[in-house]
Amino acid sequence: MDMGYNEENCDFGGYPMYLGELMVCHLKKMHDHFWWQFPLGVVVGILAVVLAAFLFLLIACLFVDQKKKQQHDNLFYRGMMYFYIRIVMVVLRVRVHTKGLEQTPKNGRFLLVCNHLSDADPVILNYFFRKSQLAFITKRENTSMFIVGPLMHKTMCQPINRENDREALKTILECIRLIKEDEVSVAVFPEGRIEGDGLLHHFRSGVFKIAQKTKVPIVVCTLKNPAEIFVNLPKLKPTDVWLNLIKVIQPEDYAEMNTVQIADTVYHLMAQDLGSELVAQE
């Protein structure tokens, strides 16, 4: 007999309905709606957290006075930086394949050197050497970048004037001081700039005076493919990046070398690791 049951509204057309039947009917309705509401809620929740985190970062950076010299590494800003780097890497779908990082010195400071291919290079190195408190030597223009500038200031990054040797020397001397006083380890791209052709170019040897004067290990790394992150971003494609710690050169291994010889040694280590197809013929 047709009881006039309307399943969509749990309506039995005025006929009595057992409590169990009513509960089952409403649970079925909830299930039918829940399958699309749940993932939507997750996405909205993630976006809300990211937005709140970004606003927090923005407010924190607004209180940074970059005209005031930073005396010590700020662990709060450094930890916050690592947190946001991780978010950015997930959002941009960056997959970093590492090799040799177990060689990283566990005790004491060091000078890290790497080839320079994109603006993503310091981001990747900072994250994978986060236990080492890296402070980068960077071009002056980067200090005025939105959010990035204040974070760099608080984590002891040192701007360098590449057009003025006297000013550049002051930056080198400050990096020497930071290592000697056990404030941070220093990271530098000895090529001095991004050439844009994806190849390894010859070094500016002056940065190796940092190692020469502090007698710390030189951590030699290479990066492959980081520039593709920005190429793949509009296509929403993932990007594979390779980070290789080739060798840690101990102070006794370069004790008798001058800065030009140290630079030449490091250059050939990188060139051998990258392969001739990724080395500029200069």
Check: CB of residue 179 under 8 Å from CB of residue 216.
Answer: yes
**Which letter, b or e, does each residue of 221-255 get, where b requires 16 or more Cβ atoms within 10 Å of its Cβ?**
bbbbbbbbbeebeeeeeebebebbbbbbbeeeebe
Dihedral sign computed on CA atoms, order 267, 270, 276, 278: negative
Q: How far apart are CA 99 and CA 220, in angstroms?
A: 12
Dihedral sign computed on CA atoms, order 132, 133, 137, 138: positive
Check: CB of residue 121 under 8 Å from CB of residue 223.
Answer: yes
Residue 8 is predicted with a pLDDT of 47
Q: How far apart are CA 157 and CA 169, in angstroms?
A: 15
Taking only the tens place, the pLDDT of each residue in 112-146 is 999 999 999 999 999 999 999 999 999 999 998 99
Mean pLDDT value across residues 72-79: 94
| Orientation of helix 75-91 relative to helix 19-62, angle to 10° | 130
pLDDT of 12 > 50? The answer is: no
Report DSSP letters for 222-265, one per residue: EEESTTHHHHHGGGT--EEEEEEEEEEE-HHHHTT--HHHHHHH
Supply angle C-alpha 114, 131, 98, rounded to 5: 50
Q: How far apart are CA 20 and CA 114, in angstroms?
A: 69
Taking only the tens place, the pLDDT of each residue in 216-254 is 999 999 999 999 999 998 888 999 999 999 999 999 999
> Which class for 182: exposed (0-12), middle (13-18), buried (19 or more C-beta within 10 A)?
exposed
Residue 25 is predicted with a pLDDT of 61
pLDDT of 169 > 90? The answer is: yes
Residue 34 is predicted with a pLDDT of 55
